[in-house]
A = this chain, B = another copy of it.
Amino acid sequence: MERRVVIIGAGFAGAEVARGLRSAPARAILIDQNNYQLFQPLLYQVATAALSPADIAEPIRRLVRGHPNVEVVLGEVTGISADQRTVILRDGSHIAYDVLVIAAGASPAYFGHDDWAPFAPSLKSIADARNVRSRLLRAFEEAETAGQPAERARLMTFAVVGGGPSGVELAGAIAELARYSLAKDFRQIDPKSARVLLLEKGPRLLSGFPKPLSDYAARKLTGLGVTVETNCTVKRISETAVETDSETMPVAFAIWTAGVKASPVAKMLGAPIDKGGRIKAGSDLSVPGFTDVYALGDAALVLAADGNPLPGLAQVAKQRGQYLGNALTRRFQSRAAPGPFVFHNRGNVAVIGRHAAVIDFGRLRLKGIAAWLLWALIHIYLLAGLQHRLLVAVQWFWHYLTYDRGARMIIEPSAEGREPSC
């Protein structure tokens, strides 16, 4: 009997489950609200005009082109009925399942300060990246015509909130954009004098890395002109300033990389969730109290063998997706369940800028130009599809030689909205 496996979310976790069912007597229905899978680790490069959105977005249909038992549905999930075994979409359609896999990912969390969102956009989607890119470039344009020196200084100051890998990478990229790519293009201002503030609540940047690598990142960022502030709590963000526990800093705008919460889909199931909105799942990724429901990726909280959750990394999502695809295949083939999931650490990596990155392989630690080269190779390799690899490699090579960034377009959201949505 062919089972219907409905997978919510075609990110790294969900897509791997679907592809893992290739030899199972099953039909996979892969639901996503976008028609593409976004390679989020390079989103900051779109936000800083180094890459185009299409370079890091793979059409889901192309991703599963060779998998005739996978169907792709473009739609937003608005409800789950575990009793009737159906998933409900915004257009009112019901999709029946035998097995449900929740891999709906996460979205930015402002921890009770949603009113900051207009002044401190986040960086989780293509729309976010385009928005940040337009605001960055527009700030320099406005500084060029600003009359007052104080206003000019404010327009050339950018705050990045959150000192994790996303914040570190973004702060470094903004500093390089100003120092190198824009340096010669203005007449009234000197883009090199732009300031980037990196604000981290904890005692050091990159808390998931060993301390020597954190220190290296802070040193390198400082060298790029980034002002690194640790033990710094943000009290308030307004249209023109960021207020911390010690001072108020006028800024063009802030960018929020300080936290995420699970997709609202996690809550729709009705299973217990943690304070980040994540579904608590067992070590086999099944959701306790439900039959034939599994959760993984950023939408789930799964404890590792040592009792701690694994970090929300692409490699964790991918490996768990492969594990679940295999486990379901074995189940449908009436074979024995696989052993418990074991995470293979492929290395934790963050890039700071040209010739500067950190990699933590557990026992081995790398920093500097070797880490930077390895970072570039890993990311080219991880991109889905030869075309993306080729295009990103060409652009990086060009950027490396010339310091130029090709995607320097300011396009206002309002211009996009000229045509009514249909």
Contact = CB atoms under 8 A, between A and B. Distances in A.
A234 interface: no
Contacts of A387: 395, 398, 402, 404, 406
Interface in A72-129: 73-74, 93, 117-118, 121, 125-128
Interface string A387-413: 110110011001000101011111111
A36 interface: yes
Contacts of A253: 422
A101 B176 CA distance: 36
A388 B406 contact: yes
A141 interface: yes
Interface residues of A, number: 64
Given A121-B419, A394-B390, A35 B410 contact: yes
Nearest to A57: B409
Contacts of A65: 184-185
Interface string A348-391: 00000000000000000000000000000000000000011011
A24 to B, nearest CB: 17
A131 B126 CA distance: 15
| Residue among A59, A73, A118, A131 having the largest count of chain B Cβ atoms under 10 Å | A59
A190 interface: no
Copies of this chain in its oligomeric complex? 2
A145 B125 CA distance: 25
A55 interface: yes
Nearest to A54: B407
Contacts of A286: none
A229 interface: no
A415 interface: yes
Contacts of A289: none
A388 B52 CA distance: 12
Contact of A410 (B34, B187, B417): B34
Contacts of A275: none
A414 interface: yes
A339 interface: no
Nearest to A70: B187
A130 interface: yes
A152 to B, nearest CB: 15
A137 interface: yes
9 contacts: A35-B137, A52-B53, A52-B54, A61-B185, A61-B186, A62-B404, A387-B404, A390-B398, A413-B416
Interface of A: 34-36, 52-55, 57, 59, 61-62, 65, 68, 71, 73-74, 93, 117-118, 121, 125-128, 130-131, 135, 137-138, 141, 145, 182, 184-187, 239, 253, 387-388, 390-391, 394-395, 398, 402, 404, 406-422
